[in-house]
Amino acid sequence: MSDALLVATAIHKSYSLGKRRLEVLRGVDLTVRRGEFVALRGASGAGKSTLLHLAGGLDRPDSGTLTVGGTDLSTLSQTGLTTFRNRRIGFIFQAYHLLPELDAVENVSLPGRMARRPATEVRDQARQLLTRVGLGDRLEHRPYELSGGEQQRVSLARCLINNPELILADEPTGNLDTRTGMEVLELLLSLGPERGTTLVVATHDAKVAERAGRVVQLEDGKVVG
């Protein structure tokens, strides 16, 4: 498909658990078009998070191919993969993964600084993004001074700092109460399309899945619907 952004073909992934081998993904095929919002559903252990990690280059499959924007991730060195991930993919995690010693602006700025963008430009953009997600009065607050919802808003701003073409979100509302989770989802759905971003979300939340343009069901490491 000419408008395909993410293409996973025959993806297998397993992990060693002592003497046992756990097969998590068993030949997954998935194509996500540019601008789509795709929700991954399935029970715990179905392979949702593993598929996201592979799609984002955080891990490599045992076999199969993954391409993002026409780039085969298997052809990239570890350094090349890190650079690609930093500049073209945004991540949102259930556990936020903010650095506790940095304030909100510094946390959001970090991927931009890693991309060697001008410090002033990155800091200005971080302030704008934090203001956009409703944290204009929390710019200098550290994570421990923020609520869970506010921390997830910081992570949302952080994932957008380098204007990624693909956002991968792993249970982004999982640690939030229903109202706060919906507020974060609305921000994600408004900010992503503004930038032409493609969104893939792994979620147990039926309300999140209801907002997706397409729902992909995983079961025992396979796409079943």
Across the range 177-190, mean pLDDT stands at 85
| Burial readout 208-222 (b: 16 or more C-beta within 10 A, e: otherwise) | bbebbeeebbbeebe
Across the range 193-215, mean pLDDT stands at 88
- pLDDT at site 17: 82
Which CATH homologous superfamily contains domain 4-223? P-loop containing nucleotide triphosphate hydrolases (3.40.50.300)
108-163 pLDDT, tens digit per residue, is 999 999 999 999 999 999 999 999 999 999 999 999 999 999 999 999 999 999 99
Amino acid at 47: G
CB distance 54 to 60 below 8 Å = yes
Report the mean per-residue pLDDT for the chain: 91
Residues in contact with 114: Cβ distance below 8 Å, sequence separation at least 6, in sequence order:
86
Across the range 88-103, mean pLDDT stands at 92
Judged by DSSP in three states, 190 sits in: helix
- pLDDT at site 2: 62
Other beta carbons within 10 angstroms of residue 88's beta carbon come to: 18
- pLDDT at site 180: 86
pLDDT band of residue 1 (cuts 50, 70, 90) is low
Ordered by start, the domain boundaries in the chain are 4-223
Q: Is the pLDDT of residue 45 over 90?
A: no
CA 56/CA 107 separation, integer angstroms = 20
CB distance 54 to 43 below 8 Å = no
Q: Do you know the residue count of the chain?
A: 225
Judged by DSSP in three states, 54 sits in: helix
